[in-house]
Chain A
Amino acid sequence: MAKIKGAIVVNTERCKACNLCVVACPKDVIALSKEVNDKGYNFAYMQNEDACVGCAACAYVCPDACITVYKVKVEE
């Protein structure tokens, strides 16, 4: 059976920690990091990598175009 695996890359310097990607993610993949970027924002990151399906909901709602999304079909 094929399974979809996804991953996101966050442009941490562009991120303003608005948290909208965290809310948008249907799989609870994303969280705001404890670290901060140069502007002092707790940027978004993949907390739960395995759960990502690459749906890109986070990237659609991101107001700062920080999120790049990848997706691959994996045969099991």
Chain B
Amino acid sequence: MAIQNIIKPENLVYTKSKILTDIPMHYCPGCSHGVVNKLMAEVIEEMGIQEDVIGVAPVGCAVFIYKFLDIDFQQAAHGRAPAVATAIKRLMPNKYVFTYQGDGDLAAIGTAETIHACNRGENILIIYINNGIYGMTGGQMAPTTIDGMKTATCPYGRNNEVNGYPLNITNLLAILEGTCYVTRQSVHNAGSVRKTKQAILKGFKNSMLGKGTSVIEVVSTCNSGWKMTPEQANNWMVENMFPVYPMGDLKDL
């Protein structure tokens, strides 16, 4: 069958969401952020909530997420997104409010804001990208850097005696009364991408049910920071990150 006969509107099975703008994403080639940004756009489009969603952008690699999603945004100071989102949701309870944060933002400088927003059970969705490294500032140690992993500020590998332990903040958030849905996902293959999309959909829906905070950790790659190809980074993640940050739901009320 000639290819022109396949490429027809009626045969379309997948295309870029309209919520994703035409501005090229600034992420490095192969970065997990791109996939998750794309999934946010797809879910917002499919739920038809463009007019009712407000995103809160972090400081870090995803700082410009507001250029890529065609929705209203507030750009928060480093780590403060859950506090910003708290007020937006409390003042406009009929809106869908989400934060999009990296591991440095959420699990280091913003630990207090994160834990307390979750503990208050704010009806928001928190998207948490954990790639175990500070990408934007050039590959320094993150709170989630795993033992032995080399970064610019632990060049000989993370050493518990010097650097402490990787912080599994998602496990902490799952035990809080205020969270209703806590899950750990990834986006390294088609199956995991589909699952993460379903998780985002559930998280958004939860925020209108008054059940509390939904947290989705996406264990991700930073191939530039890890100094690998995108494919190697995916494999390295599965082999080394997944044992420390295992996939699956930690809580689903």
Footprint of B on A, CB under 8 Å? 5-7, 9, 11, 13-14, 16-20, 23-24, 41, 46, 49, 54-57, 59-72, 74
Contact = CB atoms under 8 A, between A and B. Distances in A.
B7 A7 contact: yes
Interface in B1-45: 1, 3, 5-8, 11-17, 20, 24-25, 27-35, 38, 41
Given A61-B35, A64-B34, A71 B13 contact: yes
Contacts of B193: 60-61
B12 to A, nearest CB: 6
Contacts of B194: 60
B33 to A, nearest CB: 7
A24 B13 contact: no
Given A6-B6, A57-B190, A70-B7, A18 B12 contact: no
A2 B22 CA distance: 37
A21 B7 CA distance: 19
B231 A23 contact: yes
28 contacts: A6-B13, A11-B16, A16-B30, A18-B30, A19-B229, A20-B234, A23-B231, A24-B190, A54-B6, A54-B13, A55-B190, A60-B14, A61-B35, A61-B187, A61-B188, A61-B190, A62-B35, A63-B32, A63-B35, A64-B24, A64-B34, A65-B41, A67-B14, A68-B14, A70-B12, A71-B6, A72-B6, A72-B8
B29 A70 contact: no
Which of A9, A16, A55 is most buried by chain B, counting CB atoms within 10 A of its CB?
A: A16
B128 to A, nearest CB: 18
Nearest to A57: B190
Given A54-B6, A63-B29, A72-B11, 11 more contacts: A19-B229, A23-B234, A49-B3, A54-B11, A54-B13, A57-B190, A62-B35, A63-B25, A65-B34, A70-B8, A71-B13
